[in-house]
Structure 1
Amino acid sequence: MSSAEPQSPNPSSVLEALAGERLLDISRTFGIQVEGGRETKARMAERIGLQLEGRLPTVLRELGRDELRAVCRRHGLDDDSRSRSELQARLLEAAGMDPSKSVPPPPEHHLDQLPQPGQVVQARHRQWLVERVDPGGGHDSARLGLVCLDDDAPGEELEILWDLEVGARVIDPAAEGLDPQGCLDPPGHFGAYLHALKWSAVSAADATRFQAPFRAGIKLMAHQLTPLMKALELPRANLFIADDVGLGKTIEAGLVLQELILRQQAEFVLVACPASICLQWRDEMQRRFGLRFEVMTAKFVAWRRQERGFGVNPWSTHNRFIVSHQLLRRPEYREPLLAHLGPRARKSLLILDEAHVAAPSSRSKYAVDSETTDTIRGLSRRFDNRLFLSATPHNGHSNSFSALLEILDPVRFTRGVPIEGPEELAPIMVRRLKRDLRHLGVERFPRRLLVQLALEHDGGGWTATETRYDSETRAEEVGDTTEIGGAEPFELQLAEKLARYTELCAPPKQGRGRLSFIRLQQRLLSSPEAFCRSLEGHAQAVMERGGPVLRDATTQAKLNLEADPDLHGLDDEAAEAEAALELSKDSERLPTPTEEARGLLSELRAIAEKARRRPDAKVRALLAWIRKHQCPAVGDADGGDRKWTDRRVIIFTEWGDTKRYLVDLLGQAVAHTDRGDERILVFHGGMGDESRDEVQRAFNTPPDEHPVRILIATDAAREGINLQAHCADLFHFDLPWNPARLEQRNGRIDRTLQQAEEVRCHYFIFPQRSEDRVLETLVRKVETVQQELGSLGAVLLRGMEKTLEPGIDESTQEQLALIGQDANTEVVDRELESQRKELAKLEAERSKAARRLEASSRALQVHPESLRGVVEVGLRMAGADGLIEGEPTREGHPTFSMPELDRSWDRTLDSLRPPRGRDERFWEWRQREPRPVTFEPLARLTTDTEQLHLAHPVVKRILDRFLAQGFSAHDLSRVAAVVAPSESVIRVVAYARLSLFGPGAARLHDEIIAVPAPWSGNEAGVEPYKDAATAQRAIETTERLLALDAKPPGKAIQAKIAERAAALYSDLWPALEDEADARAVAAKNGLTQRARREADELRGLLRRQKRAIEKQANIVAQMELFARAETKVDREQQRQLKLDHEHMKARYEAIDAELETEPRAIEELYEVRMTRLSPVGLAVSWPEAMT
């Protein structure tokens, strides 16, 4: 090492001690252009330093504590100090400058005491940041624009007249200090207060710190953290969650939503979803995340207008809404929403569930925008953040996929420009299948078995043979054959005669009247009752050209043209009437039947009438299964045990007529069993919110608490409800010809929180009936597709549906085998599925998210025990007793009952009461006892216990009281003392809260700062520890004792501490300021680095988009020319090509302007407008030997 004199500090020599990335940040701070990738670090430091010559004090003020220490070492100076100001002074002195003349002057204090922008004021029992000041003139009072800083109302805006505002004052944190007024807080109270403050701290600079998982009442699975991790790494949370059915997309979206709310990036939230899952979204957000949403309905609008006046915009009456896709398309709901949002709603989030509905779709080669596409596109651009959810995001059309992605993130994607590879999707797409996660061995999902019941007639009666098939292993196991009774094979007779009748009368596959024969075939494959009703309508239309059935159907259909938007889908009766009308009209188009056809039709009617009220073979097989697994006495009034087991089953049918058929026959079969009239529930279309909720709740209640064992459901229940809590068996009584519905049905029980090791999905086939061989192929292929092909499977399922549309005949099976051999499947595989095929990357993402959760847990110290301690303290502060321990949960976790609380807690405790019954009066429901609570995650869906978490209304109320201490609440003195065994030195720890605020008082960074010092116990002042390790040990020891609610010292010692607490805190305040200064600069540097990185990434994205558009625009222009010349291309397709081409040109021209505005907008998000340090409290650990 050279013995030469160290160089005198100057801007260039100072900058040489910094990392290359920090030089880029410094250059941008001072507006100096450098080319980071092309210059060496030394050359960059020299160029920047030359332009900053003579501005050494300004440069030093931009450096963090560790950077100043490095600069001191580089210049041979002592770096042993925790104060930035001391380190700066040493460097300035070494440069021959007077530090006292180089520090910035203190802010001016105006004689009239008028606050200035950036100061903090107290008004109306809250603390506000002054954003603007209008001094007024003459005798006018000054007008102040304020933004709230309090934790329970962040960002709330207020305007006041300063001179007329009673009690308003400027806050000086250094003068606030502490005033214990002669008494100390119990250690447990102070420990709870400290926990509350730490749990509320967030930082936009730290994208690796999770908060949302600790504010969710869920059993967290590792894979559910990946979307949260990716969302926090984006400048705006534009994310597509495309996980498989049943992996918990709603929970994943809820975690992202909760985190954005905590980081003050989501003040207005809109969830758009199918009508059938509006309630599920509302309940999941309320129970799992403590977030109250309003469901937008006609009733809600009427209620708000009655409450606030007819002219009120209902969208302005709350900040979180759920709306169905159906209502969003209606102008009377959409236009007020757009008016409320304005051109761009600041701090807003759109969550679009089943997002594939917004994708352009078409049976042609080029997908065309739909009404929903236009609606969502116009809406989404008004939101800052967007979350899209869909298990099937790609429909096989490249332009459709890119259009959907452009709606999600118009900066990254342009419609019509294909996705080139997985790296384009990686930042914004999360895509996993259950199969992927099972292969990684990181999650436990049940094994799914297909159980086929083959029903054959041997001349004397029916038999059922069970075959189990595991689609993942391809293992097949044939079980025993069981006799199930029944003499006549009505099903086979009807199928044979219908086939002949169709052969005689049906037109070609595309001919008029073909639909009626397809419908008859579908209904025959469902049930004798459904077939009989459709056959009667067809016969009357053909033979009599109209009649009672047709007239009734027409009347019913007219009555149901206007479906109630508050109900979930058409009522089953309405749907059946509509289908009957369609069948009758189609049948009228047929020519007069021949004599043979008339004879066959009469035979069909006679057999169907005979069979319609008798149990068919499928019902007999179902009853045999129920006797074996649920209740031996079902269907046999004289034999077997009438008690029921705990096993539950769901029976799905596509048709309302078949539902009634099942309800009647199964109802008769179970009537004489134990509580037989309570064993069956029905779920159907057109049910209101309360009815749906009541059925779902009953079926998910533990079997020993509710008698229901059988749920008969139409396809209204195939999506939007969770039924897996205590059910692992499902029957497809009929197989829908839309294969996607099979997976939706199976997804009711094959999903997260399913406790069974395997789920069993049963279906029936008749090997002696030709149509069933096709259906057997269909079921196996659907299962394989869903297990292995992901979104590619959705394309294949649509192909299967199209194949089945003309009906089932000899060629159908061969056509099914050919599905998947077209260009669409290659497009999906290349553009979407390729990004999830590398399991190593999926595992790396999962592990990375898990490590971040673990680090966040260590930093926040959120554990069930600590949370329980805070709740206990909060309840006692409210004047109540502590929690009362009760029976453990089914998993063995402790539960607790709430103590008696005063009436002010009624609304808060409503969150703990059992769900209100449909006919239960509100005041009666209010009398019900709150449910027991637990602090451990619940392993299954249950309504008998409530998990308390940081966002639960009960916990939130308690935490809010702690967060208000020293401001709007004064329950605590904020000084505590604990006895420290095995210690020999009295230690004091002073706490303060450092907050950095951005535009609109958005909290960019929050942390609790602690400075410990030894104390002699007399009036002498205190000096903080110099050694960092010693200081950290002192803090950890004190906080551990506070968390354990250790005993306080005697009253005499407490009196001494109370008397000297204010002086002790004042002595340590300069050290707190020094530490806060160092950490604030570090946080600012982190924010600056993130802003630079994200702005640079955005510039790169925009430039790549411009090149891609330039390339694709020529291709689309050629396609447009060919489309004009090709007569077979429909007008809609031509129009869409023209629109996309024009959009590409407009987008290309707009990118140049966005290269200037968009990166700057991102940098402004992280711009620190104010730094604030607030007093928190003082803790003293007193050695036991000195008590």
Structure 2
Amino acid sequence: MSTVQATYQPGSLVSARGREWIVLPQSTEDTLHLRPLGATEDDATLIYLPIEPTPVGPATFPSPTVQQASNFAAGQLLRDALQLKLRTGAGPFRSFGNIAVEPRAYQLVPLLMALKQDVVRLLIADDVGIGKTIEAALIVRELVDRGEISRVAVLCPPHLCEQWQRELMDRFHINAVVVRSTTASRLERGLPANQSVFEAYPFTVVSLDYIKSDRRRDEFLRACPECVIVDEAHTCTYSGQGRQQRYTLLKGLSENPERHMVLLTATPHSGDDDSFYNLLGLLNPAFRELKDIPADGRKQLREELANHFVQRRRPDIDEWQDRQLFPERLTAEIFYKLTGEWGQLFDDVLEYARELVIRAEGQDLMQQRMSWWAALALLRCISSSPKAAVNALRTRLQGRALAGPDNTEMLTLEDAEEQGRERVLDGSEDNLTTQDIEPGAKTEDSVLLTKLVARAEELSGAVKDPKLKRLIDHLKELTGAGFQPVVFCRYIATAHYVAEQLRSVFPHHEVKAVTGQFAAAERETAVEAMSEAQQRILVATDCLSEGINLQNLFTAVVHYDLSWNPTRHEQREGRVDRFGQEAREVRTTMLYGQDNPVDGAVLQVILRKAESIRKELGVLVPMPDDQGKLTQALVGAVLLRKGTTAAKMPQLGLDFGAPEEAIDTAWQSAREKASKNRTLFSQRRLKPEDVLPEWQKTLAVLGGEDDVERFVKRAAVQLGAPLEQSTKGGAKHWKLHAASLPSGIRERLEREGLAGTLRIDFHQPVAAGGQYIHRTHPLVSALADHLLETALDERREPKEVGADAVARAGAIFTDMVDVRTVVLLIRLRHQLTATHRGKSQLLLCEEALAVGVPADDESSLLDDATARVLMATEPTRNMPRPLRDQHLQRALDQLPGWQPALEDLARTRAQLLLEDHRRVREASGARGEYRVTPSLPVDVMGVFVLIPA
């Protein structure tokens, strides 16, 4: 090891360029990475020793002086500022000082599983809304902070790119760029010819649709980061042309044995065994063989798989006594009847649809299939709304093809089938459609269709539309009980129709329709804009059923149109019923036509059976439907069965015959598969309660939500901008008037986009429109940096704003002590050497402690908890300044004599830190070696004297 490295280990203090610095771990023989005392790593600098004009020398931390004294309470702010500034805190988890979220117990399990592996290969298949994004990002943040990786790519469907980018930045302070067709050229501009975007930008969020092509895939495989997260991984299995390209990409990535991969999906098994085992094979090629190994020979391989696959449903989390995480979901079914003109029109359309199919018999296969899809489209749209029915009927009248203006003859049979499934059905299990434009098909019945269109147009509004009337009645119940509902529709026309009608009925609510007509970013903007309204109703198509979190603004879901796939229902409800939902109760409602034969078939044979299995197993079993064939058969049975018009169907007790039996058999098979897999894939080996003490220790070192709240409130008062409590929309929060803060803080906040009056809260979930103030928030950093710099500045002027807010020294009379007691605020710096996979990393750990030195036993220091209580005490009476200075000078003169005891404390804390790291590694079963060395002498940040009253 070089002389420089031997002399200036991480955590050492050095003097350079007229000030003191802390040496950071990135330093080498010729370079020193330095952080100024009292500043963050954002202010770090690099010194190249061979050309540095003034020699760098060792330094010691300056002791407090009498001149740095102020009132005793100012010492509490110093302690809080010092604690909340820590980013490389002592503790077994390196990442917790750099994140803006407090992980729940169950969310630590994937992190521990990852730490257990030399190369991370993990499939996280937790339920919708449990927090897979947080679990995955926590893993990569930890690997980055341990120095094990330096680059990360997130691969996700295009509509999730911005959400991932925002989550990484807001919660984990990872600044990623989005790479897709619209951004790639801009990112590549100015790069050297042989440099990839993925080499130039260490953190990227990449659209799967952009990167999967053969040309781009090869370049990505060459330059891919050493760690990859794949969201919605079930859409990347070998099935269909687009997914075949995705699977080829992931298979190529997994073939690098050194690459870390974290795969995320809420539906790992979509009913296709081949796709499922291909997914497992990305973790380890051997897992693909589980499909063909006899049951009695699988045990060892299955046990190995359990180390790489974690799947929890909400009942699993209940078993871990974490019952306050999620709201209670109350479900209900409500119905309407096809009465009057609407019922007659429905019967006529059903009869016409039946004639379409019968008439096509004997024609060529294309015409038969087009007539079939036209009939199904009519039934789906007429069941949705008058507006959707009008659009579907008019599309036929204009002779447009199923996909739009192209001629039907131009479509291949395969194209027609694919478009029919997408527009009429809900897509396949691993690729649910978000296509919400009303379907249409060409027919020649111009006169009849014109009459049907005219009749449908006359039925808009609650007076003639019983479905809409029932929705309005239900929404009055929900909103009257304080719920904020989302109404999900199948088609664009229906969403706009419903929203228009609701605006007149709910004039005091903001009612907005969000559909696939909006680009992904526009949808998010439109939803976020509703946060200003105290009462809101969102009407949306399934373009919002994936990727956008609605839990901060909404508390109820109404399925205005039944989805023909139960997974879609769960996705809709999971937008609201998910991690971070503030309400303790969420309502979900299915609305159906009691005498609508299509609704009856779907509800009875598909949705209720799925719910029955979910209640039995605690798992949502994907619908066992091969490309919608069973659903088509079921609806076809309704369509072609004579005597099943609405007027003759007062109840849902239909006999659907063979299709129902086929679906029932398929459901039973799917249930049995899910039941067998259930015992294998639920993760119960690692128990969060075994690791929670380590998380709590980390909070004690770094500061948790309560510490942040106390600090910000006190600092705001001392700096002339006290917080103002406010209530908006029924939710309590605080207002901070940033303009009243000192100019240095104000300017720094303005650079972060924080100006004017800020609505803030210190606990999650946060009220709509508010900001969560966590320990890494710019506000906390700005306040802590300002106060600490003020405290350490010996040249500060007493008249400066906030000059007395923080102090390195103080003295009071108090009843809390019986003998003169000195409380020392100290900072400990430790060098942590971690060896993993044969690679050693030298890391810096810091912690701030308070220790008490009683006059009657100076060899026995009071612990941090006791000393903190003493620091928070109130003075009994005033102490004259000369007497204060006398007591302080006496304590300062004693400091050198206390250093041996403080150094013994530092060694003890280093040993505890080592034990913490080893204990967590034992909890996860991970391999690794650690060595911890304290940096001495100990930094004394503050001296505070308590004199018995």
TM range (shorter): 0.7 to 0.9
1:90-135 CA-to-partner distances (Å, cap 9, x unmatched) read xxxxxxxxxxxxxxxxx9989xx9967777655577533587866x
**Percent sequence identity over aligned pairs:** 20
Distance 1:910 1:494, change over 3 A: farther
Q: 1:714 aligns with which of 534, 541, 555?
A: 541
**Which residue of structure 1 lines up, in the alignment, with residue 896 of structure 2?**
1066
Aligned twin of 2:659: 812
Q: Tell me the residue number matched to 2:489.
A: 653
Cα deviation for residue 198 of structure 1 reads: 4.3
Distance of 1:331 and 1:820 partners within structure 2: 38
Match of 2:760 in 1: 933
Contact 2:910 2:933 in 1 (8 A): no
Q: Which residue number in structure 1 is paired with residue 351 of structure 2?
A: 496
Separation in structure 1 between the aligned mates of residue 89 and residue 303 of structure 2, nearest angstrom: 25
The aligned residue for residue 939 of structure 2 is 1176
Alignment of 1:140-539 (within 5 A): 143-144=30-31, 146=33, 160-167=47-54, 169-172=56-59, 175-180=60-65, 182-184=67-69, 186-198=71-83, 207=92, 212=96, 216=100, 223-228=106-111, 230-231=113-114, 238-256=121-139, 267-288=150-171, 292-297=175-180, 300-301=183-184, 314-315=197-198, 319-329=202-212, 341=224, 344=226, 349-361=227-239, 370-379=244-253, 385-396=260-271, 400-405=275-280, 407-408=282-283, 410=284, 414-417=287-290, 420=299, 423-437=303-317, 442-443=323-324, 444-457=326-339, 461=340, 486=341, 489-506=344-361, 513-527=368-382, 529-530=387-388, 533-534=391-392
Q: Distance in 2 between matches of 1:747 and 1:547?
A: 30
Say which SS state the counterpart of residue 337 (structure 2) adopts: strand
> Residues 384-426 of structure 1, C-alpha deviation per residue, up to 9 Å, x if partnerless?
6544322112245566445434535x5x965434674874455
Retained in 1: the 8 A contact 2:122–2:261? yes
Matching residue's letter, 1:694:
T
C-alpha contact 1:192 1:870 (8 A) present in aligned 2: yes
Alignment of 1:787-806 (within 5 A): 787-789=615-617, 793-794=621-622, 796-799=623-626, 801-805=628-632
Mapped to 1, the partners of 2:98 and 2:24 lie a distance apart of 29
In structure 1, C-alpha distance between the alignment counterparts of 2:317 and 2:916, rounded to whole Å: 34
Q: Is contact 1:893–1:936 with CA below 8 Å preserved after alignment? A: no
Equivalent residue letter for 1:956: S
- Where do 1:614-625 residues align within 5 Å? 614-615=458-459, 620-625=465-470
Which residue of structure 2 aligns with residue 1032 of structure 1? 862
Structure 1 residue 490, shift from structure 2 partner: 0.9
User: Do the aligned residues in 1 keep the contact of 2:153 with 2:206 (CA within 8 Å)?
Assistant: yes
1:830 matches 2:676: yes
Matches of 1:147 and 1:384, distance apart in 2: 31
Question: Where do 5+ consecutive residues of structure 1 fail to align?
Answer: 1-106, 135-142, 462-485, 562-568, 588-597, 633-642, 914-925, 1017-1022, 1099-1161
Matched, 1:663 2:489: no
Corresponding residue of 2:587 = 759
Tell me how far 1:717 sits from its aligned partner. 1.2
The normalised TM-score by structure 2 is 0.76
- Structure 2's unaligned 5+ residue stretches are 292-297, 420-426, 428-432, 638-657, 797-805, 835-839
Distance 1:907 1:298 in 2: 37
Distance in structure 2 (CA, Å) of the matches to 1:130 and 1:1178: 23
Please, which of 811, 817, 822 is the counterpart of residue 983 of structure 1?
817
**What is the CA distance between 1:489 and its match in structure 2?**
0.9
1:419-456 Cα deviation digits (max 9, x unpaired): 74874455444422234556877245333324141424
Deviation at 1:339, TM superposition (A): 6.0
Aligned equivalents of 2:708, 2:525: Cα separation in 1:
32
For residues 190 and 121 of structure 1, do their structure 2 counterparts lie closer, same or farther at Cα, with a shift above 3 Å needed?
A: same
Contact 1:518 1:807 in 2 (8 A): no
The amino acid of 1:624's aligned partner reads: K
SS of match in other structure, 1:375:
helix
- Does residue 867 of the first structure (1) align with residue 708 of the second (2)? yes
CA contact (8 A) 2:634 2:660 kept: no
Aligned-pair CA distance for 1:932 = 2.4
For normalisation by structure 1, the TM-score amounts to 0.63
User: What is the CA distance between 1:888 and its match in structure 2?
Assistant: 4.9
Distance 2:599 2:160 in 1: 34
Q: Trace 1:620-631 onto structure 2 (pairs within 5 A).
A: 620-629=465-474
Classify the secondary structure of the residue corresponding to 1:743: helix
Give the equivalent residue in structure 1 for 2:803.
none
RMSD: 5.2
Aligned 8 A contact 1:630 1:645 in 2: no
The 8 Å contact of residues 179 and 973 in structure 1, kept in 2 or not, is answered as: no
CA deviation after TM superposition for structure 1 residue 852, in Å: 5.2
Q: Give, in whole Å, the separation in 2 of the partners of 1:523 and 1:168.
A: 84
Equivalent pair of 1:246/1:750 in contact (CA under 8 Å): yes
**CA-to-partner distance for each residue in 1:276-298, whole Å, 9 max, x for gaps?**
23333344455555655443455
- Alignment-mate amino acid for residue 711 of structure 2: V
Q: In the TM superposition, what is the alpha-carbon distance from 1:793 to its structure 2 partner?
A: 0.4
Match of 1:1076 among 893, 903, 906: 906
Matches of 1:509 and 1:949, distance apart in 2: 66
Mean Cα deviation higher: 295-304 or 758-767: 295-304
Secondary structure of 1:723's counterpart equals coil
Distance 1:534 1:291, change over 3 A: same
Per-residue CA deviations over 1:739-785 (Å, capped at 9, x if unaligned) read 43232223233334162634132232353636743454222123334
CA distance in 1, matches of 2:320, 2:33: 52
SS where residue 370 of structure 1 aligns? helix
Amino acid at match of 2:894: L
Query: CA-to-partner distance for each residue in 1:869-902, whole Å, 9 max, x for gaps?
Result: 422565578xx41423222577875624234235
Contact in 1 for aligned 2:468/2:498 (Cα 8 Å): no
The alpha-carbon distance between structure 1 residues 1082 and 510, as it changes in their structure 2 partners (threshold 3 A), is: farther
Partner of residue 1116, structure 1: none
One-letter amino acid matched to 2:636: D
- Alpha-carbon distance in structure 2 between the residues aligned to 1:1060 and 1:378: 70
User: Deviation at 1:998?
Assistant: 3.2
* Count of residue correspondences: 875
How far apart, in 2, do the equivalents of 1:995 and 1:1076 lie? 8
What amino acid does structure 1 have at the position aligned with 2:601? R
Task: Say whether residues 1:750 and 2:750 are aligned partners.
Answer: no
Query: Which residue does the alignment assign to 1:69?
Result: none
Deviations 1:679-738 (A, max 9, x none): 54221225235521232124455534xxx43x3322211112233445444443433444
Q: How far is the alpha carbon of 1:1013 from its aligned partner?
A: 3.7
How far, CA to CA, are the matches of 1:1001 and 1:152 in structure 2?
A: 24
Aligned to 1:66: none
User: How many Å separate the matches in 2 of 1:746 and 1:371?
Assistant: 31
